[in-house]
Amino acid sequence: MGSLQLSKLYVNEIHPKTEGGVVVIPNRPAFYVHTPGGSAGGGGDGTANGYLAFTVTKHNIGSHFDGTVFTCPVAGLYSFTWHVLSNYNSANHNWHYGYIAHAPSGGSYSAYAYSQVYNATGITTGAHHGATVTINCGAGDKTKLYHYGNYMDAHQSLYTWFTGYLIG
């Protein structure tokens, strides 16, 4: 019995190539950033409360991530993952949370992939948290990463990162 081979696949103007029976999409929209340098409307050192602005880009295929916001170039299912290392800069009991904010084109932001950590030890330390989510996005939809910290900031290092890509 013969196998089915796909010669062309069209996904809202992304034209994949077929090589040896494997569908290859070399220009799939994707980004991976780390090291927040501040936040839009944040407090403390600029990374405590607000949407994180990243200073290091590992890849940004299609240039759809502007340092803070990813704009979906085509409709489809997208995967987003984030991780934050927070510095507890106080020995007080404290907590922090983060989430991926998503807005349909021209709409309001909603929270996805929410995660929260609480430190009741009274010891100045750090904590890791993050999450992964898939979102069915339309062309022009926007996503960004929000972090809130009570007595803490998002650590300015490669341990705080945000990534996303088009699944299909």
Q: What is the pLDDT of residues 11-59, one digit of tens each?
A: 566 555 666 666 667 789 999 998 776 544 443 344 557 788 888 899 9
What is the residue-averaged pLDDT of the chain?
77
Domain count, the chain: 1
The single residue listed with the structure tokens 């991530």 is 65
Is 18 a member of any domain? no
Q: Is 150 exposed, middle or buried (0-12, 13-18, 19+ CB in 10 A)?
A: middle
CB atoms within 10 A of CB 131: 15
Give the model's pLDDT for residue 66. Answer: 95
Identity of the residue numbered 158: L
Is 19 a member of any domain? no
**Backbone phi and psi for residue 66, each to the nearest 5 degrees, phi listed first:** -105, 10
pTM, two decimals, is 0.75
Q: 90-116 pLDDT, tens per residue?
A: 555 566 778 899 999 999 999 888 887
**Residue ranges making up the domain that contains 115:** 28-166
Is 85 a member of any domain? yes
Is 23 a member of any domain? no
CATH of residue 133 = 2.60.120.40
Is 65 a member of any domain? yes
Is 91 a member of any domain? yes
Is 63 a member of any domain? yes
Judged against a pLDDT cut of 70, whether residue 156 lies above it is answered with no
CA separation for the pair 78, 118 (Å, rounded):
29
Question: Residue 56 in 3-state DSSP?
Answer: strand
